[in-house]
Amino acid sequence: MKDLLRLRTSLTEEIETLLNEQIKVEAYSSSLYLAMSSWCDRNGYDNSAGYLEKQSGEEREHMLKLFRYVNDLGGSAVSPEVINIPQEFDSFKGVFEMALQQEIQVTSNFNRIADRCQKANDYVTFQFLQWFLKEQVEEEYVARRILELFEVIGEEGTGRWEIDKHIPKVSFGISGE
Ligand SMILES: [Fe+2]
Ligand SMILES: [Fe+2]
């Protein structure tokens, strides 16, 4: 019966499982960014709160992109259960350190899935993943640039207020790609 069900999809069990795990990670990112947004809002960093809320929405879109792909290929996309979202953060800078850490982890996940796709000769999924790999370059770039603001502007005096003002303006590349 299980073999028969597999005929409905060209996804191997391994790739389907990896994609469902990544659906969960994207959902986690979305909830994490939303928690960060709330923390920033409560602590007076309004611009960062808005930026992080927008990021949370983008992570949900990533989650749905993967979700739809799994079902489109005849697999079973699993609605993710997300737990253990931190609601408190050590500091304003700590929020963005965690954001960069999360993005680096996600890049490593996608590299691993792409590697498994090649080994399984799943070039359909491998090609689908290219969008995410490209997106991660942008996500990591923005996260790093934001952290640099803490060094460049400095946190003393009105520094944090100034950093908060700059965060939504950080974007990838001057070509606007
Ligand atoms: Fe993402
Ligand atoms: Fe991301």
Give the CA-trace dihedral at 168, 170, 175, 177, to 10 degrees. -70
Give one word for 12, left, alpha or beta, with left for phi > 0 and alpha for psi -120 to 50. beta
Cα(41)–Cα(37) distance, rounded to whole angstroms?
A: 6
Q: How far is the CA of 51 from the centre of ligand 2 (A)?
A: 13
Q: What is residue 2's predicted lDDT score, i.e. its pLDDT?
A: 63
Q: Residue holding tokens 């960069």?
A: 100
Residues of the chain falling short of pLDDT 50 = 176-177
Q: How far is the CA of 140 from the centre of ligand 2 (A)?
A: 8
Q: What is residue 174's predicted lDDT score, i.e. its pLDDT?
A: 58
Domain, as residue range, for 144: 9-79+87-169
2 falls within a domain: no
Q: How far is the CA of 39 from the centre of ligand 1 (A)?
A: 20
Q: How far is the CA of 107 from the centre of ligand 1 (A)?
A: 9
Q: How far is the CA of 158 from the centre of ligand 1 (A)?
A: 32
Ligand in closest contact with the CA of 22:
1
Q: How far is the CA of 4 from the centre of ligand 1 (A)?
A: 33
Q: How far apart are the first and last CA of the chain?
A: 47
When divided into structural domains, the chain yields a total of 1
106 falls within a domain: yes
Q: What is residue 61's predicted lDDT score, i.e. its pLDDT?
A: 98
Contact 79, 64 (CB under 8 A): no
Give the pLDDT confidence of 37-55 residue by residue, as tens digits: 999 999 999 999 999 999 9
175 falls within a domain: no
Q: What is residue 3's predicted lDDT score, i.e. its pLDDT?
A: 65
21 falls within a domain: yes
Q: What is residue 9's predicted lDDT score, i.e. its pLDDT?
A: 82
115 falls within a domain: yes
Query: Domain with 135 in it: what CATH number?
Result: 1.20.1260.10
139 falls within a domain: yes
Cα(107)–Cα(60) distance, rounded to whole angstroms?
A: 16
Measuring CA to CA, which residue among 1, 37, 2 is closest to residue 16?
2
